[in-house]
Amino acid sequence: MRIERDLYLIGSGTMGFDLTDPYDCNIFLFDTGAGCVVFDAGAGMGVERILAVCRDDGLDPDRIDHLFLTHAHTDHGGGTAPLRDHVDVEVYASAATAKIVEIGDEAAVSLDIAKAGGVYPGDYEYRASAIEHVLEDLDTITIGSYSIQIVHTPGHSHDHCSYLVSGNDRRYLVGGDAIFFGGRVVLQKTYDCNVPKTIESIERLCDCDFEALLSGHLNFSLNNGKRHVDKARTITDRFGCPPSIT
């Protein structure tokens, strides 16, 4: 689904736009002019549909050669290995995310608990995948006409990061599960979901400059996207926690 110049939504599940597999997060693609950059891989149970969406939008899946992960949770990182079965892509992630994805550590993403609770199918397998590029906080990568800067934003998970993407006079925050439309967050009964860290990350994002918010679920915001972070900040400034989407 083409959103605007160079920007596409190629995957989204039941907590988004029902574009691909129900378990997928929002998966965004930027056509940089020097290949296509994808943010997050979904859960991996509907890769063929993701590639079909690309083709429907006139994108050649063989041009997908860079994948950036916001965090390792199943709906974001679980599709890394399945995607690599179809396209020759290099993967970028934080050190904490890489540690999980490279061994397919299901306990580290609470997948064992999610399976037991019926959230994911019992036979789902989180397949390990190599990570070619391990990024430190504030590292910046230039690909074609776009620059991509990683910003560590733990809270939703201990390994969570966001990306500031700049190009063609536009600046985007690919926020993963750090912040959502309406200033909401996502709080889960998992070992590494941390409210104080979530609030610290919101405060950090308030210092970032961007026009568009591209979140891992729900709607995206192409203009004045910073208002969603600011709305969350008004709550944390009163010693509260923004409402959770679940």
- Give tens-digit pLDDT for 77-91: 999 999 999 999 999
Whole-number pLDDT of residue 55: 98
Total number of residues shown for the chain: 246
Whole-prediction pTM: 0.98
State the fold for domain 2-236.
Metallo-beta-lactamase; Chain A (3.60.15)
Amino acid in the structure at residue 139: D
Whole-number pLDDT of residue 246: 84
Alpha helices in the chain (DSSP H): 47-56, 74-77, 80-84, 95-101, 111-116, 195-206, 226-236
Tokens of 208: 């970032």
Distance CA 172, CA 204 (A): 15
Whole-number pLDDT of residue 44: 98
Q: Are 175 and 224 in contact (CB under 8 A)?
A: no
Stretches where the chain sits below pLDDT 70 are: none
HSE (CB half, 13 Å, CA atoms) of 81?
Answer: 15
Distance CA 60, CA 150 (A): 26
Distance CA 91, CA 101 (A): 10
Determine whether 40 is exposed, middle or buried from the number of CB atoms within 10 Å of its CB (0-12, 13-18, 19+): buried
Whole-number pLDDT of residue 6: 96
Distance CA 162, CA 14 (A): 22
Whole-number pLDDT of residue 52: 98
3-state secondary structure at position 94: strand
Distance CA 71, CA 93 (A): 8
